[in-house]
Amino acid sequence: MEHHKFEYTIEGAPDYAFVEVKLPQNETLKVEASSMATMDTNLEMKTKMKGGLSRFLSGESIFINEFTARNGSGRIGIAPSMPGDIKHLHLDGGQVVYLQNSAYLASGVNVVVETKFQGLMKGFFSGEGLFLIKCSGTGDLFFNSYGAIIELDVNDGYIVDTGNIVGFTEGLEYDITKVGGYKSLFLSGEGLVAKFRGSGKIWIQTKKVSPLIYWANPFRPQKGS
C-alpha cells in the first residue's frame, strides 16, 4: 500500500471491494452519498450539495457527504453500490482524471469534483451518459467499478468498448465510433467503442452492465395477461 495523507486498506477486491480509510484528527473525507458502511463514533457528517443540476443530470446524487474526525483520529468504511473493484490514486497539483458518471467514490477535500459535458454526439452514442466526472487538485481519490479494474498505459492510441471505461487521465482525447460496419454494430454484440489518442492512462472494468441486464431480462417477473 502506498503511503499518502490518508492510511487505507482495501478488502474484498476485486469482486466485492470495501475500503476503510483512517482520518487524522480534524481531517475531512468527501464520500459519495449512500456509500458509508461503517464509521467510528467520533466522526461528524455534513451533507453538502455538489455539482448542482449538471451532477443531477449525470445520474448521480447532487449531494456528497463530508466526514470529519473530531477528538482524535477515526476510521470510515466505504462500500460502493456495485459489486466490483476500488482503485486509489493520489492526485498531485495539476493532475486531472476523468471518471465515468458512476465511478466516483470518495476524495480528500482538496480534490475538486465537478461534472464535464461530453457533448451531444459523444454522450448519446457512447451509452455512458452525457457527463463525465472531472477530478482535479491535490489529494487522495477513490473510485470504483463493476468488475475488476485494470490500468493501461497508452502511448499512442487505444480502443476500448464504451461500457468498459472507468476513467482516463487528461491528455487523452477520444472519439466514439463503431468497430466494423453498421451490420456489425447491430449484430455483433460489440456496439460502440471509444478510440483514444495521445498519451496517458486508462482504467477499464472487466464487466459491463448492459450484458448483465440482457442476461437477467428473461428472469424478470411477468404480469399475467
Is the pLDDT at 33 greater than 70? The verdict is yes
Average the pLDDT over 109-126 and give the result.
68
Distances (CA, A) of 20 to 10, 12, 181: 6, 11, 46
% residues pLDDT > 90 (the chain): 58
Phi then psi for residue 31, to 5 deg, are -130, 135
Average the pLDDT over 146-173 and give the result.
93
Phi then psi for residue 154, to 5 deg, are -115, 125
Give the CB-side neighbour count of residue 119, counting CA atoms within 13 A. 5
Q: State the pLDDT confidence band at 137, using cuts at 50, 70 and 90.
A: very high
Is the pLDDT at 209 greater than 60? The verdict is yes
Angle, CA 16 vertex, CA 13 and CA 22 arms, to 5°:
65
CATH no. for 7-217: 3.60.160.10
Which carries the bigger pLDDT value, residue 55 or residue 103? 103
Which carries the bigger pLDDT value, residue 193 or residue 117? 193
> Residue 215's pLDDT is what?
63
**Which amino acid type is present at position 164?**
N
Average the pLDDT over 116-133 and give the result.
58
> Residue 187's pLDDT is what?
45
Angle, CA 176 vertex, CA 175 and CA 180 arms, to 5°:
120
Q: State the pLDDT confidence band at 8, using cuts at 50, 70 and 90.
A: very high
Distance CA 61, CA 80 (A): 14
> Residue 224's pLDDT is what?
64
CB 139 within 8 A of CB 90: yes
SS3 for 215? helix
**How does pLDDT run across 164-206, given as a tens digit for each residue?**
999 999 999 988 887 755 444 444 445 688 899 999 999 999 9
Distance CA 3, CA 19 (A): 15
Domain-wise residue ranges, the chain: 7-217
SS3 for 120? helix
> Residue 178's pLDDT is what?
77
Mean pLDDT across the chain, nearest whole number?
Answer: 83
> Residue 122's pLDDT is what?
52
> Residue 63's pLDDT is what?
80
